[in-house]
Amino acid sequence: MSEQRYFLKLSYKGTHFFGWQIQPNAITVQECIGDALKKINRANAVKITGCGRTDTGVHATEFYAHFEMNTDWDDETFAYKLNCMLPAEIAIQSVFKVPEDVHSRFSATSRTYHYFIHKEKNPFLNETSWLVRHELDLERMNAACQMLINHKNFKCFSKTITGISSFKCDVTEAQWTKTPEGYRFTIQANRFLRNMVRAIVGTMVEIGTHKIDLKEFQQILDSQERSRAGQSVPPQGLFLVKVDYDNDKNCIA
Is residue 134 domain-shared with residue 232, that is, in the same domain? yes
Q: Is the pLDDT assigned to residue 249 strictly greater than 60?
A: no
Residue 4 main-chain phi, psi, to 5 deg: -95, 140
User: Is the four-CA dihedral 20, 171, 8, 234 of positive or negative sign?
Assistant: positive
Query: pLDDT of 199-212, one tens digit each?
Result: 999 999 999 999 99
d(CA 129, CA 132): 10
Domain count, the chain: 2
Q: What is the mean pLDDT of residues 133-153?
A: 97
User: Which residue range is the domain that position 141 belongs to?
Assistant: 112-242
pTM of the model: 0.94
Give the single-character DSSP code of 91. Answer: E
Is residue 120 domain-shared with residue 91, that is, in the same domain? no
149 touches 171 (CB < 8 A)? yes
From 35, 55, 101, 244, active-site residue = 55
- 203, with CB counted inside 10 A (0-12, 13-18, 19+), is buried
The CATH number of whichever domain residue 25 belongs to comes to: 3.30.70.580
Reduced to 3 states (helix: H, G, I; strand: E, B; else coil), residue 64 is: strand
35 is catalytic: no
Chain mean pLDDT for the chain: 94
Query: pLDDT of 25-74, one tens digit each?
Result: 899 999 999 999 999 988 789 999 999 999 999 999 999 999 999 888 89
Domain membership flag for residue 160: yes
